[in-house]
Structure 1
Amino acid sequence: MNKVHFFLAFIVLLTSCNQKPVGKKISTGELNHIAIIIDDQLWNGEIGDNVRTKFAAPVIGLAQEEPIFSINQYPAKLLEGYMTHSRNIMVIKKSTKNSYKVRKDEYAIPQNTVYIGGTSVAEILDILNNNAAEIIKLFQETDIKLSQQVNDSSLLNKSRLRDRFNISLDVPTGYKYAMDENNFVWLKKDNISGNQSILIYQVPQTCLKRNSNPIDNIIKMRDSIGELYIHGTVAESRMITEQGFAPYLTMTTLDGRKTYHTKGTWELKNDFMAGPFINYAVEDTVNKRLIIIEGFCYAPSKNKRDLVFELRAIIETFKFLK
């Protein structure tokens, strides 16, 4: 068991020991993994193809293709064995009636077990198509919460962000302050394969102009920040939004506030470094400002999905202080 797996199990044990029902075990498994319980005949046909298309689709915003979830398939008989310890489980089978059920913490804690039954291949496919988005959201929210619980075991002091921006963010102690200026903070964590960074800054609310394309304004904001603060070792190099890879923009909320969520790829102009970023622009209408929280990573020899997922888990702890 590596350090990450140990901390996952340890934190879940601590947070669930007071309410843990008798006989329930601690769930296991890496983040962004699903155990699919399905017989080989169905898995090797149209149903298996559909599951792979939905749940192993490429993550939006990564330059190289990586699946939303890593999937492991097991025959139905293993549901009675060690697979009941997995955190995210889907059970798919033919049945005498159509059914779709979600059960929480059925065999272990925390755990999601999704049961899909259908009288035919067509009926099973229909259930999958209608519920895939909900299942993906459920699995990701559980993994986000678990990642945040791991981080909670050791957090940076929050006073700097409180004093700078009157906000709270749960950042684990692996991150250090690379830069701390009046309206800009850069937190960075070095690792064997590269590094991960979190930027926090504020700009006037007018930077997202009415009746204009928000994505263009967000690109201008982050490119101007890159020119000011994020430079490479090569002369005249600076972080920009990769011009050959259009970012994706969706609307979400952080701490109940309207938030522009952008995913894309950054690069160093006049240099060869690049990687994915996730950018959250949170509206603070009371103070007529936008709070920008961006996570980006550089890991040329490693897959980026789980690195970005860790950044997302940190950013989604964001809160305005009273």
Structure 2
Amino acid sequence: MKQFAFLFIIALSFISCKESAEEAKAVLSESNGKINNVSIIIDDNLWNGEIGDSIRKKFAAPVDGLPQEEPLFTLNQYPTKVFEGFVRKSRNIIIVKKGKEAGFASNTNKYAKPQNVFFISGTDTEDVLTILEQKSAEIIKTIKASEIIENQVRMKKSLISDAQIQKMFGVSLKIGFGYKYDMVKDKFIWLRKEFTSGYNSVLIYEVPISTVEKDTNIIANITAMRDEIGKANIQGTLPNTWMITEAAYAPYLFDVTIAGKKTYLTKGTWELKNDFMAGPFVNYAIKDTKNNRYLILEGFTYNPSKSKRDWVFELEAIIQSVKFLK
């Protein structure tokens, strides 16, 4: 009987703990913040010194592939004494302080959801700088991945139909409200979303594997492919104008994985030949061995004299939502 009572108490405690955890999770309010914004909780004396310089250098570094310099994240600094209310509910938080021990920790959904919280502490400036050097890449990767998801969640609230994309290419894409089919032809789709100061575009097409892999100069092959597609499909309003890859600056090339498939990610600047329009692009060449092709998903932005970072990020969120159906 005593053994039964003991087991009952343990079971009751387990249920109680589980319910408490679920209740705590349930009462978490929604996090806040614009896309690619990070709250830095750090006292002014540290922010205005070496530690602050290191944080800005790492988390506000220029984004690759944009025509004008824009920071990786928009950093909002708050002293530790004001870490409450809406600040505590920020979606991305990095807390930096000096203390009795050096250490790093990360947490999800600690004060709100969804949320990333990173804790960095050190006994002196050198400790903190060392941890920033060791952990900044991990923090950046985590925040970027979760911001892609956040962008996709926001778009899912109002999606346009991707039926034509599924039928033509055998893939699905989550494309938010505002995008319209601008051109649909044999194995080529162009969607465009207009906004006050410009527009975003998504291109979908496919090429034989040999187009991208005809030799080892992948970046040159992708550039030539883009220029050929641009001349055939993306013309300007003036005669004899079409989209090309800007010749003055070589694009950035990255090896990534999208939908479990080997992918070449190219970031650079497009321009209209014989005209003055230009802007950033991201090109994902996804190797689809099963269908003997590279599926090309590209996004490009036109937003002259204004910020382009978050518009390009929206394009990446759309592209990274791709799912292969066959």
State the TM-score bracket (shorter-chain normalisation).
over 0.9
Counterpart selection for 1:104 from 101, 104, 108: 108
2-structure distance, mates of 1:242, 1:97: 50
Q: Residue 25 of structure 1 contacts residue 108 of structure 1 at CA under 8 Å; is this kept in 2?
A: yes
The one of 246, 258, 261 equivalent to 1:257 is 261
Provide the residue aligned with 2:12 in structure 1: none
Q: Which of structures 1 and 2 has the bigger CA Rg?
A: 2
Does residue 240 of structure 1 match 2:244?
Answer: yes
User: What stretches of structure 1 of length at least 5 have no aligned partner?
Assistant: 1-17
One of 216, 219, 223 as aligned partner of 1:215: 219
Bigger helix share: 2
Shift of 1:158: 2.1
Aligned with residue 85 of structure 1, among 86, 89, 100: 89
Distance 1:166 1:113, change over 3 A: same
After TM superposition, the score normalised by the length of structure 2 is 0.91
Which of these residues, 18, 23, 26, is aligned with residue 27 of structure 2?
23
Q: Shift of residue 211 of structure 1?
A: 4.0
Deviations along 1:67-98, one digit per CA (max 9) or x if unpaired, are 00011111111123431111100100001111
Task: Report the Cα offset of residue 54 of structure 1.
Answer: 0.1
Question: What value does the CA root-mean-square deviation take over the aligned residues?
Answer: 1.3
Report the 3-state secondary structure (helix = DSSP H, G, I; strand = E; otherwise coil) of the residue aligned with 1:237.
Answer: coil
Give the deviation of 1:22 after TM superposition: 3.9
Asked if the contact 1:38–1:75 (Cα under 8 Å) also holds between the matched residues in 2, the reply is yes
**Retained in 2: the 8 A contact 1:254–1:319?**
no
- 1:219-230 to structure 2, matched below 5 A, reads 219-230=223-234
Match of 2:4 in 1: none
- How far residue 212 of structure 1 moved from its aligned partner, in angstroms, is 1.9
Question: Take 1:24 and 1:289, find their aligned partners in 2: how far apart are those partners?
Answer: 46
Give me the whole-angstrom Cα distance separating, in 2, the residues matched to 1:20 and 1:295: 40
Alpha-carbon distance between aligned partners in 1 of 2:179 and 2:24, rounded to the nearest angstrom = 32
In structure 2, distance between residues paired with 1:117 and 1:48: 13
Q: For residue 263 of structure 2, what is the amino acid of its counterpart?
A: T
Asked whether the equivalents of residues 58 and 67 of structure 1 are also in contact (C-alpha less than 8 Å), the reply is: yes
Quick one: which amino acid aligns to residue 174 of structure 2?
D
SS of residue paired to 2:164: helix
Identity of aligned residues (%): 50
- Report if aligned partners of 1:241, 1:266 keep a CA contact under 8 Å in 2: yes
Matched residue pairs, number? Answer: 305
Find out whether 1:122 has 2:126 as its counterpart. yes
Asked if 1:34 is matched to 2:38, the reply is yes
Instruction: Output the CA distance in 2 between the equivalents of 1:81 and 1:153.
Output: 27
Unpaired runs of 5+ residues, structure 2, are 1-21
Question: What amino acid sits opposite 1:271 in the alignment?
Answer: D
1:10 is matched with which residue? Answer: none
- 1:153 pairs with 2:157: yes
Please give the per-residue CA displacement for 1:212-251, whole angstroms capped at 9, x wherever unaligned.
2100000000000000000101110000000011100001
State whether residues 92 and 143 of structure 2, in contact with CA within 8 Å, keep that contact through their aligned partners in structure 1: yes
| CA distance in structure 1 between the partners assigned to 2:52 and 2:44 by the alignment | 9
What one-letter code is carried by the residue in structure 1 that aligns with 2:324?
Answer: F
1:64 paired with 2:73, answer no
Report if the CA contact (8 A) 1:204-1:288 is conserved: yes
Q: State yes or no: 1:267 paired with 2:259.
A: no
Higher mean displacement: 202-211 or 254-263: 202-211
Q: Measure, in 2, the Cα distance between the counterparts of 1:173 and 1:20.
A: 34
Task: Give the Å deviation of 1:55.
Answer: 0.3
Q: 1:68 to 1:101 in 2, by over 3 A?
A: same
**Aligned residue for 2:322?**
318
Structure 1 residue 204: deviation in Å?
0.5
TM-score w.r.t. structure 1 length?
0.92
